[in-house]
């Protein structure tokens, strides 16, 4: 059914359910989206001022039919029918985040800094900058986060006065401790690959582990943990910004996606379309598990990266040989051209000498 007014169905759903569905766990994108929707609904009389929107959680990539789904994961973009609304980012269409999609739909103003970085940690922000607004945003109210964004503080280090203003003094100290602990664990679990790259393969969840690893110059970060049920495992493999996961890792992930596919077409395993992430279960899908032991999964990830590294090293060797051969051929061709040039120069000199002799005789 085609909706004449893009907000007609949205208003109806808010009044009916007073509920928003999002992924497990909170990040800047879903926090900002829920805040903006609730504020808009109150300002337009859809909700009363003392009403609050109930938040329900689904595994990343899933949708709860009959509800408003905000940032449920997978960057699938927006869709809508008579019963269900999905609002999410769609990078292929230039929509970086769910909050950007929602702001454009509601025609409301959102600080530009939130629109720019809501769904990604900018590479210019180092995790070692434990005073940065973005790394601390989850420890303060969303209203404070919007104020920080208006001042363009999310990608900057906060001063002592700003930490105090936003109630983040203790949070900053806690973050510093988290980073220090992550560094120690990463050093312990880092493996050097034969092609010169490094990968962290951790047998435990490391808070802030991937972003710290990237800052330490490591291209890939994998962690495996036992499922909360005591059976099976959850795991995640991520690539550093600017890199993609090796083909073999993505192929393995896609096979798992098919293996654990549900009747509705979703899966407990998610391979990001931009090729940077493979996630099975975890904070955004806590009920899911892969039926393997931790040891077997660790060995599988190690095997996949070792195979990739060997093949990549072979590729590097072939490319280096090709480069050397190309340079050799270019030098040979250059020598030949120099030889031809010298031959022409000698011929020209002979002609000049002949002409001189003719002029003398005349």
From residue 17, alpha-carbon distances to 39, 66, 114, 204 in Å are 16, 9, 27, 39
Mean pLDDT of 22-37: 92
| Domain that residue 333 falls in | 311-362
Do 107 and 83 fall into the same domain?
Answer: yes
In a domain, 305, yes or no: yes
Do 176 and 61 fall into the same domain?
Answer: yes
pLDDT at 118: 85
Do 32 and 106 fall into the same domain?
Answer: yes
From residue 83, alpha-carbon distances to 1, 63, 80, 130, 226 in Å are 10, 12, 8, 43, 37
Query: 6 pLDDT exceeds 70?
Result: no
pLDDT digits (tens, 9 = 90+) for 107-138: 999 999 999 888 765 545 788 889 999 889 99
Which residues, 6+ apart, have CB-to-CB distance to 320 below 8 Å?
none
pLDDT at 343: 64
Mean pLDDT of 250-269: 91
Mean pLDDT of 267-289: 89
Cβ contact 179:127 at 8 Å: yes
Rounded to whole angstroms, the Cα distance separating 71 from 84 reads: 14
> pLDDT over 90 for what percent of the chain?
61
pLDDT at 271: 92
Rounded to whole angstroms, the Cα distance separating 249 from 278 reads: 8
pLDDT at 348: 64
Mean pLDDT of 239-250: 94
Do 145 and 209 fall into the same domain?
Answer: no
Do 31 and 164 fall into the same domain?
Answer: yes
For 278-308, letters b (16+ CB in 10 Å) and e give bbbbbebbeebbbebebeebbeebeebbeeb
pLDDT at 102: 94
Mean pLDDT of 228-235: 92
Do 27 and 71 fall into the same domain?
Answer: yes
In a domain, 1, yes or no: no
Q: Please count the structural domains in the chain.
A: 3
Rounded to the nearest angstrom, the gap between the alpha carbon of residue 102 and the centroid of all alpha carbons in its chain is 21
Query: 256 pLDDT exceeds 70?
Result: yes
Rounded to whole angstroms, the Cα distance separating 127 from 182 reads: 11
Cβ contact 246:308 at 8 Å: yes
Query: 2 pLDDT exceeds 50?
Result: no
Query: 1 pLDDT exceeds 70?
Result: no
pLDDT at 192: 96
Tell me the average pLDDT of the chain.
88
pLDDT at 306: 96
Do 91 and 103 fall into the same domain?
Answer: yes
Which bin fits 37, alpha (ψ -120 to 50), beta or left (φ > 0)? alpha
Alpha helix locations (H) across 53-201? 98-106, 112-117, 133-136, 142-150, 160-165, 169-189
């Amino acid at each position: 059914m085609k909706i004449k007014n893009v907000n007609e169905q949205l208003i109806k759903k808010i009044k009916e359910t007073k509920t928003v569905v999002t992924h497990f766990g909170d990040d800047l994108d879903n926090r900002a989206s829920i805040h903006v929707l609730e504020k808009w609904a109150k300002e337009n009389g859809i909700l009363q001022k003392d009403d609050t929107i109930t938040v329900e959680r689904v595994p990343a990539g899933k949708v709860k039919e009959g509800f408003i789904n905000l940032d449920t994961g997978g960057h699938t973009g927006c869709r809508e029918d008579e019963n269900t609304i999905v609002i999410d980012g769609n990078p292929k269409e230039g929509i970086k985040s769910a909050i950007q999609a929602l702001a454009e739909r509601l025609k409301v103003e959102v600080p530009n800094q939130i629109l720019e970085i809501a769904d990604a940690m900018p590479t210019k922000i180092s995790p070692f900058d434990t005073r940065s607004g973005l790394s601390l945003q989850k420890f303060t109210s969303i209203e404070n986060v919007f104020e920080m964004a208006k001042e363009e503080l999310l990608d900057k280090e906060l001063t002592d006065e700003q930490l105090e203003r936003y109630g983040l003094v203790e949070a900053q100290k806690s973050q510093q401790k988290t980073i220090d602990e992550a560094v120690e664990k990463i050093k312990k679990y880092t493996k050097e690959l034969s092609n010169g790259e490094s990968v962290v393969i951790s047998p435990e969840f490391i808070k802030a582990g991937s972003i710290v690893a990237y800052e330490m110059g490591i291209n890939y970060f994998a962690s495996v943990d036992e499922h909360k049920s005591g059976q099976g495992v959850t795991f995640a493999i991520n690539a550093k910004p600017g890199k993609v996961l090796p083909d073999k890792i993505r192929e393995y992930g896609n096979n798992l996606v098919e293996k654990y596919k549900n009747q509705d077409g979703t899966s407990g395993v998610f391979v990001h379309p931009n090729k940077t992430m493979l996630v099975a279960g975890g904070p955004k899908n806590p009920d899911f598990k892969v039926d393997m032991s931790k040891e077997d999964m660790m060995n599988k990830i190690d095997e996949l990266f070792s195979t990739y590294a060997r093949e990549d090293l072979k590729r590097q060797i072939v490319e280096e040989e090709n480069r050397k051969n190309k340079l050799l051929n270019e030098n040979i061709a250059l020598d030949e051209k120099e030889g031809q040039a010298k031959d022409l120069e000698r011929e020209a000199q002979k002609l000049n000498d002949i002409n001189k002799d003719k002029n003398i005789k005349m």
